[in-house]
Amino acid sequence: MPTLEVQEELKVEVNRLWKASKDADTLLPKLVPEFIRSHERLQGDGGPGTVRIVHFGPGIPQATPAKEHIDLLDDSNYTLSYTVIDGVGHQYSLLKPTITFTPGVDATTTLAKWSMEYQPVGEQGPPEAARIAAVHVFKAMEAYLLSDPSQYLKF
């Protein structure tokens, strides 16, 4: 199955970045409204088994709301994986993103990796808009956490 991925080194401690990521339902519409307009939780507590709907912003104009199922939320390995179960449109039969944070070379950096397995319908190419959005999300979270060192300290 094809996979699209990107890595970014961020100047934020892994624990803070992970905690902020777990608050993405609230945080991302504030930080990147051009990509994420809102999250709506349908069931669950945010952990595995949670089902939510993501409403996209104008930065992803071709996207319709997507229903996501959280498959994995691993605090010890800083990994989140989910499957888009509805709203992939007619271009893809599967979209399965995974986000992993790894402590960087020192205590103040993190290697952020986003990958997505996808199954195109027909000759559709990779979902590049999702990769671009992932980079923007990583950079926006980094900027936010650097601008306010008091946010997301307790793990």
User: Any idea what the CATH number is for the domain that residue 59 is in?
Assistant: 3.30.530.20
DSSP one-letter code for 37: E
- Residue 15 has what pLDDT? 95
Assessment of whether the complete model's pTM goes beyond 0.95: no
Query: 62 in helix, strand or coil?
Result: coil
| Backbone φ, ψ for residue 133 (5° rounding) | -65, -40
Residue 42, domain extent? 3-147
> What is the number of structural domains in the chain?
1
Instruction: Tell me how far apart the alpha carbons of residues 52 and 63 are, in angstroms, rounded to a whole number.
Output: 16
Query: 87 in helix, strand or coil?
Result: coil
User: Residue 19 falls within a domain, yes or no?
Assistant: yes
pLDDT one digit per residue (tens) for the chain, 155 residues: 899 999 999 999 999 999 999 999 999 999 999 999 999 999 999 999 999 999 999 888 777 899 999 999 999 999 999 999 998 777 899 999 999 999 999 999 999 999 999 999 988 889 888 899 899 999 999 999 999 999 998 65
- Residue 155 has what pLDDT? 53
Whole-angstrom Cα Rg for the chain? 15
Residue 87, token pair as written in the block: 């709203």
User: Residue 66 falls within a domain, yes or no?
Assistant: yes
